[in-house]
Amino acid sequence: MQGYYDMTYQVLSDIKCPDYLIDSRCNTFGCTHWMSINSYYESITRALSGAAECCIPVVYGDVYKHYWSQELSDFKVGLS
């Protein structure tokens, strides 16, 4: 968990919010800087996803069923 925390801190600190977005205001007819907002948002989600892929192990569901056997699978199929 500490590795994920450290990596997210590192990758997120590299992302800079465009200064003009902080003071920008949308008018009644729409937002003129939505592409910049989307780009900023995507850079954050890419950074978090990349950190997760590097630091969070993937465990498949069948790992937890060490007690499960082919006989139980056949029985389960027979019940449906």
Sign (positive/negative) of CA torsion 32, 35, 40, 45?
positive
Strand partners, 27: 30
Taking the CB of residue 51, how many other CB atoms lie within 10 A of it?
Answer: 20
Alpha helical stretches, state H, the chain: 2-13, 19-23, 34-55, 70-79
Task: With 0.75 as the threshold, say if the pTM is over it.
Answer: no
Q: Helix, strand or coil for residue 30?
A: strand
pLDDT digits (tens, 9 = 90+) for 63-77: 667 777 888 888 888
What is the pLDDT at residue 29?
73
Given this model, what pLDDT does residue 80 score?
67
